[in-house]
Amino acid sequence: MDYVYGPGKNHLFVPGPVNIPEPVLRAMNRNNEDYRSPAIPAMTKNLLEDVKKIFKTSTGTPFLIPTTGTGAWESALTNTLSPGDRTVSFLIGQFSLLWIDQQQRLNFNVDVVESEWGQGANLDILAEKLAADHSHTIKAICIVHNETATGVTNNLATVRKLLDHYRHPALLLVDGVSSICALDFRMDEWGVDVALTGSQKALSLPTGLGIVCASPKALEASKSAKSVRVFFDWNDYLKFYKLGTFWPYTPSIQLLYGLRAALDLIFEEGLGNVIARHTRMGKATRLAVEAWGLKNCTQKEEWYSDTVTAVLVPPYIDSAEIVKRAWKRYNMSLGLGLNKVAGKVFRIGHLGNLNELQLLGCLAGVEMILKDVGYPVKLGSGVAAACAYLQNNIPMIPSRI
């Protein structure tokens, strides 16, 4: 795709990386510092405590790793499991597929439960596997909370209920890359053992921080896990936590200041209000899609995502052309369909530091693009549907709690 300069600001509506708010940009606009000075450890200590709040945990131990979500995946796996360990992992889209591929390449025995793309994890099959596993050969359940490729959100509370019902000791490892800080996530209540996210998603930071949180059970498992790890070894972090210096290697100073500013914005709005805002954005987008006469890739309402909507297009339209036209003509970035849904869907990201007017602008742009590629959309239909819903669901003044 050739680069074409477009006037005005790029309209970024992919499901990550997302728009970075001005206070975060300003916070990161600083020189390097000595991370061994008293200032960085002091800030890190406060960050680690505040990061626990977005996972909703009082017992978890967070790690701020200079990496992406892929590195955070590897950290979760290699610190808790040994080669040959059996995992149950759900294949429901491109990102769950990539995590499964990583598990296989790390020499775990991956029991794959596959669903049609657009469906959630098949928890009935999980129940069957747990019921049959009397000798507890399953060491971990690996599940993507929000599958970014298809806009499917899985029910983690049900996964925990199944584990508890069958009194199964398997670890629960959760990819929350496109959910944490945007969707309801309760690490302690749902008994999640390792949760992870990436800085470029709902936190609205640049890419570069993999944020992992481990339960006491996961930390205990790390003591006997035999997977090779060096850069991602939690033990190295824990040693420096005890020393009060926190960093086993050089951190990204600028990203730490950015994280501080991002968390401050979230706490000022109130985490509950942030989640409610994403709920409104997701519903408004789905109403627009319905008004256009198009369908959601996600097949049931119970799986609808409030951070990304994957829109199915008619067979006579290549969804890649929609994304290409958005970029070339309107200086707007939409998400491509990936792998099995390539050419069949385009994705609208509605996560991060985003407000109603930004979303309505995006929906107006999508309508013009649909018209450009020959789809008989009624201009203004989706915008009107979304606007009516948003107008009738105006939030109260955000709580500063």
CATH value at residue 26: 3.40.640.10
Q: What pLDDT does residue 2 have?
A: 62
pLDDT of residue 8: 82
**Contacts of residue 172, Cβ cutoff 8 Å, sequence gap at least 6:** 140, 141, 143, 156, 159, 160, 163, 190, 191, 192, 193, 194
User: Are 305 and 233 within one domain?
Assistant: no
Domain co-membership, 219 together with 281: no
In this prediction, residue 401 carries a pLDDT of 42
Asked whether residue 79 falls in the same domain as residue 164, the answer is yes
Q: Which residue among 212, 236, 267 closes a domain?
A: 267
* Helices 69-78, 94-105: crossing angle, 10 deg rounding: 40
Based on the fold, state whether residues 305 and 341 are members of the same structural domain. yes
pLDDT of residue 395: 77
What DSSP character marks residue 111? E
pLDDT above 60: residue 242: yes
In a domain, 398, yes or no: no
Is 401 within a domain? no
Per-residue pLDDT of 137-177, as tens digits, reads: 999 999 999 999 999 999 999 999 999 999 999 999 999 99
Residues 316 and 259 in one domain: no
Stretch 3-18: mean pLDDT? 85
313 and 203 both lie in a single domain: no
Return d(Cα 107, Cα 87) in angstroms, integer. 11
Q: How is residue 287 annotated by DSSP?
A: H
User: Which three-class secondary structure state does DSSP give residue 213?
Assistant: strand
- The answer to the question of residue 162 being in a domain is yes
Contact 287, 389 (CB under 8 A): yes
pLDDT band (50, 70, 90) for residue 397: low
Question: Is the same domain home to 206 and 336?
Answer: no
CATH at residue 278 = 3.90.1150.10
Q: Do 141 and 235 belong to one domain?
A: yes
- Domain assignment of residue 186, yes or no: yes
Of the chain, the percentage scoring pLDDT greater than 90 comes to: 95
pLDDT tens readout for residues 109-144 = 999 999 999 999 999 999 999 999 999 999 999 999
Reported as a single tens digit per residue, the pLDDT across 280-295 is: 999 999 999 999 999 9
Domain count, the chain: 2
Encoded amino acid at 149, one letter: A
> Based on the domain organization, do 184 and 231 belong to the same domain?
yes
Mean pLDDT of 26-43: 96
Q: Which of 237, 267, 297 is the last residue of a domain?
A: 267
Average pLDDT of the chain to the nearest whole number: 96
**Residue 160 marked ligand-binding:** no
For residue 51 the two structure tokens come to 């990061």
Predicted pLDDT of residue 297: 98
Q: Is there a domain that residue 399 lies in? A: no
Range of the domain at 287: 11-19+270-391
Which residues make Cβ contacts (< 8 Å) with residue 243, sequence separation at least 6?
A: none
Q: Is residue 3 part of a domain?
A: no
For residue 63, is pLDDT > 90?
A: yes
Q: Compute the average pLDDT of residues 35-63.
A: 97
Closest CA to 307 of 184, 156, 159, 393: 184
pLDDT at 399: 52
> 256: which 2 tokens?
């730490």
Per-residue pLDDT band for 4 (boundaries 50, 70, 90) equals low
Query: Are residues 254 and 275 both part of a single domain?
Result: no
Last residue of a domain, one of 221, 244, 267: 267
- Does residue 155 belong to any structural domain of this protein? yes
pLDDT digits (tens, 9 = 90+) for 324-350: 999 999 999 999 999 999 999 999 999
Scan for tokens 């929000």, then name that residue.
Answer: 146
- Mean pLDDT over residues 388-395, rounded? 90
How confident is residue 396, by pLDDT bands cut at 50, 70 and 90?
Answer: low
Does residue 314 share a domain with residue 243?
A: no
- 199 and 224 in a single domain? The answer is yes
Mean pLDDT of 377-393: 96
